[in-house]
């Protein structure tokens, strides 16, 4: 089990929230009603209780923060150094120290003001002392607000750290960046580490778990390390160095022999020799990766010499191995994470070596004697010289042989799928395992029953043949209709009729062309006034000829069109006509009613419709009903328009004074504040 659960640390509130939480709790959990008529001892107790309760709440909260954050000197050295690398041990301790100092200061403030409240001589004096005590406590919290914010950032980052158990069976993967470490851990565990074709994709430690011989192993993927001085390494590289230094694990040093990672074998060998002190007393395996691009036998002699030197160094770091030939096996392995060639053998070798080392260390410890004393291995002594081999009955052997033969002969659904076209083509039969009296019944079609009748009884078996006959008959009928279509070809017409037909066709094609031209230029064609219309297509003469051809008198229409086309010119008023010798009565005769007279006075100017005028089709009974409906619509939109300002971008404070912070307790019998 993991000893340190960094994900369960309580959230650290910021300074303002801290004060609001404590003062709100004080207001809710202590009495809030006090009167001038109370005895002075009761007033003192009332305010002393407030101060003590506030101090206790501050003390509990601050103590929780101090206790839940790990102490770097008391935890495992791996976690201590990792937290120091990530957060700087000095800043971390300073922040926790300021929290501890604030807790002591708040306790001292409460003690001093409680002593003063014991001698308060009035309600006003006691209240002022209480306000001063709570104010000084809040001031202390405000001063440590940066430390609280810093610890909250650390808490959030700690929650994202992987849960690593320093004492369990561990396989550690290290090497240069982009040599295939993350691909390997993705192959042997269910970890989902991001893999990209560039360096430093992995920026922190990642943990996965795998099984070997019914035991759970912890696999740690570390960020890439560069060959440079210790002082120049960044935080990402120091995470790997910390894991190598403090974890008892089997180390897999990955070597990219193809050079596709961007670093040569000489550079990787230099890194190996610079950090080989971290491999002491640990099972070490050198893994040559990416053999699909470059096999180990195909590298140059210089590179092979460097690899052999690394192999010799790794053999020196082994402890307690039997002989040189035995230790040769599993020290230098090759694999390819792309083709998965050798991946499982590398995993098994690392787990086996780690298991052997742990067993051997336990055998050397002092505790093993206590365990061995509890075991007794009984070895039976032979009673005579007669050999008694194992005896298995013949019937049991026959049953086992039959089961083995059936197992070999039986085909799985996957085999059947491969034989019959693969996935998407083969469909497994769900009926073949039905237990019926006759095996031929398994593939029978299930009857569909509707209203107590079998649907199949009402299906005509010759329906497809009849459908084909109907389609042929319909095709013959359509062919006959196509032959009967009349098309005027002009062979049976007289010369006059042929000439008329040619003119009709010419006129028709001309109209079609004109229509297409108008349609194609409708949007961009300018509107040409009548006086610039040279073709005179819409002249009054043309209109007269067309109306005369229809047997109508065109005089009234022509006069009306001429009177309308005089432009925007004011009509003469009645007085002007009277002065000019005209007769007002003649104009009344021409325009019978008042509405027409008004319209004739200013025909060329438009007039806006009053809001109460009814337009046909609106559905109103009269103008008053329309005005009333408009008022109701405007009134209903008022609230929506008022609330329309409230949005994510508006600076709106929904409640200026929250009820739970600015109201006292309910008195007896009142339930409206609940």
Q: CA nearest 230: which of 220, 242, 222?
A: 242
Bridge partners for 333 per DSSP: 287
In this structure, the answer to whether residues 58 and 185 fall within a common structural domain is no
Does residue 119 carry a pLDDT above 70?
yes
Exposure of 231 in the CB half-sphere (CA atoms within 13 A): 0
In this structure, the answer to whether residues 71 and 178 fall within a common structural domain is no
Residue 91 lies in a domain: yes
Last residue of a domain, one of 310, 340, 367: 367
In this structure, the answer to whether residues 256 and 357 fall within a common structural domain is yes
**CB distance 287 to 324 below 8 Å:** no
d(CA 307, CA 269): 7
* Strand blocks (E) in 324-384: 332-334
**CB distance 179 to 289 below 8 Å:** yes
Query: What is the model's pLDDT at position 593?
Result: 58
Per-residue model confidence as pLDDT tens digits over 62-89? 999 999 998 888 888 888 888 888 888 8
Q: What token pair was written down for 118?
A: 């014991």
Per-residue model confidence as pLDDT tens digits over 303-321? 888 888 888 877 776 644 4
Query: What is the model's pLDDT at position 533?
Result: 59
Across the range 456-471, mean pLDDT stands at 85
Proportion of the chain above pLDDT 70, given as a percent: 83
- Output the domain CATH number for residue 35: 1.20.120.1190
> How would residue 369 be classed by pLDDT, with cut points 50, 70 and 90?
confident
Residue 53 lies in a domain: yes
In this structure, the answer to whether residues 109 and 62 fall within a common structural domain is yes
Residue 303 lies in a domain: yes
Query: What is the model's pLDDT at position 161?
Result: 84
**CB distance 493 to 504 below 8 Å:** no
d(CA 484, CA 503): 26
**Whole-structure pTM value:** 0.53
Across the range 118-124, mean pLDDT stands at 91
In this structure, the answer to whether residues 99 and 192 fall within a common structural domain is no
CA distances from 146 to 6, 29, 71, 98 (A): 22, 29, 20, 10
Mean pLDDT (the chain, rounded): 81
d(CA 385, CA 202): 68
Q: For 197, list phi and psi in degrees, rounded to 5.
A: -85, 45
Query: What is the model's pLDDT at position 614?
Result: 82
Range list of H helices, 317-423: 324-328, 343-364, 367-372, 394-409, 413-419
Considering only CA atoms, give the Rg of the chain.
50
User: Other C-beta atoms within 10 Å of 219: how many?
Assistant: 25
In this structure, the answer to whether residues 15 and 102 fall within a common structural domain is yes
Last residue of a domain, one of 320, 336, 367: 367
In this structure, the answer to whether residues 340 and 197 fall within a common structural domain is yes
User: Other C-beta atoms within 10 Å of 146: how many?
Assistant: 12
Q: For 256, list phi and psi in degrees, rounded to 5.
A: -90, 100
Residue 230 lies in a domain: yes
DSSP 64-75: HHHHHSPPTTTS
CA distances from 361 to 284, 352, 475, 603 (A): 16, 14, 94, 114
Helix (H) / strand (E) element for 287: namely strand 284-289
In this structure, the answer to whether residues 361 and 238 fall within a common structural domain is yes
Query: What is the model's pLDDT at position 61?
Result: 94
In this structure, the answer to whether residues 133 and 76 fall within a common structural domain is yes
Query: What is the model's pLDDT at position 669?
Result: 64
Total domain count, the chain: 2
Does residue 274 carry a pLDDT above 60?
yes
* Strand blocks (E) in 70-189: 170-175
In this structure, the answer to whether residues 333 and 211 fall within a common structural domain is yes
Q: For 386, list phi and psi in degrees, rounded to 5.
A: -80, 135
Residue 315 lies in a domain: yes
Query: What is the model's pLDDT at position 522?
Result: 66
**Any residues with CB less than 8 A from the CB of 600 and at least 6 apart, and which?**
571, 591
Across the range 358-371, mean pLDDT stands at 80
Range of the domain at 93: 6-158
In this structure, the answer to whether residues 266 and 140 fall within a common structural domain is no
d(CA 651, CA 453): 72
Residue 293 lies in a domain: yes
Highest mean pLDDT out of 142-151, 194-203, 265-274 = 142-151
Q: Among 174-188, 309-323, 563-577, which stretch is predicted with the lowest mean pLDDT?
A: 563-577
- Output the domain CATH number for residue 275: 3.40.50.300
Residue 452 lies in a domain: no
Last residue of a domain, one of 158, 188, 205: 158
> How would residue 375 be classed by pLDDT, with cut points 50, 70 and 90?
confident
In this structure, the answer to whether residues 105 and 217 fall within a common structural domain is no
Query: What is the model's pLDDT at position 49?
Result: 94
SS3 124: helix
Strands 453-454 and 449-450: antiparallel
Does residue 377 carry a pLDDT above 70?
yes
Helix (H) / strand (E) element for 304: namely helix 301-316
Q: Which residue has the tokens 């404590």?
A: 22
Q: Nearest 5 degrees, angle CA 153-CA 154-CA 156?
A: 65
Q: CA nearest 297: which of 245, 343, 332, 252?
A: 332
Residue 490 lies in a domain: no
Q: What token pair was written down for 514?
A: 């004109």
Q: Is the model more confident about 531 or about 568? A: 531
Query: What is the model's pLDDT at position 126?
Result: 92
């Amino acid at each position: 089990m993991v000893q340190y659960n960094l994900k369960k640390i309580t959230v650290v509130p910021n300074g303002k929230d801290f004060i609001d939480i404590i003062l709100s709790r004080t207001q809710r959990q202590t009495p809030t009603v006090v009167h001038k008529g109370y005895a002075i001892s009761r007033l003192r107790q009332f305010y002393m209780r407030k101060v003590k309760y506030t101090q206790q709440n501050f003390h509990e909260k601050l103590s929780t923060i101090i206790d839940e954050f790990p102490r770097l000197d008391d935890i495992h050295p791996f976690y201590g150094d990792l937290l120091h690398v990530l957060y700087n041990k000095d800043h971390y301790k300073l922040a926790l120290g300021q929290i501890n100092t604030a807790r002591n200061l708040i306790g001292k403030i409460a003690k001093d003001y409680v002593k003063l409240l014991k001698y308060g001589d009035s309600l006003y004096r006691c209240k002022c002392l209480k306000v001063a005590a709570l104010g000084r406590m809040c001031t202390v919290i405000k001063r440590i607000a940066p430390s609280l914010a810093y610890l909250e950032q650390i808490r959030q980052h700690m929650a994202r750290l992987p849960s690593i158990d320093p004492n369990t069976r561990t396989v550690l993967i290290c090497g240069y960046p982009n040599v295939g470490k993350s691909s390997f851990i993705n192959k042997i565990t269910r970890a989902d580490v991001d893999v990209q074709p560039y360096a430093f994709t992995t920026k922190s430690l990642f943990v996965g778990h795998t099984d070997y011989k019914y035991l759970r192993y912890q696999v740690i993927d570390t960020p890439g390390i560069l060959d440079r001085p210790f002082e120049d390494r960044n935080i990402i590289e120091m995470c790997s160095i910390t894991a190598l230094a403090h974890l008892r694990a089997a180390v897999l040093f990955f070597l990219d022999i193809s050079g596709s990672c961007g670093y040569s074998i000489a550079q990787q060998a230099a890194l190996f020799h610079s950090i080989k002190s971290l491999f002491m007393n640990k099972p070490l395996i050198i893994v040559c990766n990416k053999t699909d691009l470059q096999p180990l036998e195909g590298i140059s002699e210089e590179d092979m010499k460097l690899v052999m030197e690394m192999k010799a160094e790794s053999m020196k770091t082994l402890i307690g191995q039997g002989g040189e030939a035995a230790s040769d096996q599993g020290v230098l392995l090759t694999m390819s994470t792309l083709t998965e060639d050798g991946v499982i053998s590398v995993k098994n070798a690392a787990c086996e070596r780690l298991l052997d080392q742990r067993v051997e260390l336990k055998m050397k410890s002092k505790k093993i004697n206590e365990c061995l004393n509890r075991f007794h291995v009984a070895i039976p002594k032979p009673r005579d010289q007669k050999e008694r081999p194992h005896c298995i009955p013949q019937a049991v052997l026959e049953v086992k042989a039959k089961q083995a033969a059936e197992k070999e002969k039986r085909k799985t659904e996957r085999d059947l799928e491969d034989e019959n076209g693969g996935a998407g083509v083969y469909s497994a039969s769900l009926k073949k395992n039905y237990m019926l009296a006759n095996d031929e019944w398994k593939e029978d079609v299930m009857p569909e029953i509707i209203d107590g009748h079998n649907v199949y009884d009402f299906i005509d078996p010759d329906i497809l043949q009849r459908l084909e006959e109907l389609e042929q008959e319909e095709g013959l009928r359509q062919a006959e209709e196509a032959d009967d279509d009349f098309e005027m070809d002009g062979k049976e017409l007289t010369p006059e009729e042929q000439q008329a037909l040619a003119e009709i066709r010419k006129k028709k094609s001309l109209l079609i062309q004109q229509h297409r031209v108008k349609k194609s230029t409708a949007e961009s064609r300018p509107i040409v006034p009548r006086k610039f219309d040279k073709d005179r297509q819409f002249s009054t003469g043309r209109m007269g000829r067309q109306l005369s051809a229809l047997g109508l008198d065109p005089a009234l229409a022509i006069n009306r069109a001429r009177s309308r086309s005089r432009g925007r010119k004011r009509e003469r008023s009645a007085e002007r006509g009277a002065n000019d010798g005209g007769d007002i009565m003649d104009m009344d005769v021409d325009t019978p009613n008042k509405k027409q007279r008004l319209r004739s006075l200013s025909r060329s100017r438009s007039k806006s419709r009053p809001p109460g005028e009814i337009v046909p089709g609106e559905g109103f009974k009269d103008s008053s009903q329309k005005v009333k409906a408009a008022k109701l619509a405007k009134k209903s939109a008022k609230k929506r328009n008022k609330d329309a300002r409230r949005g994510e971008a508006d600076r709106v404070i929904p409640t200026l004074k929250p009820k739970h912070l600015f109201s006292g307790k309910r008195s007896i019998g009142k339930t409206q504040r609940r």
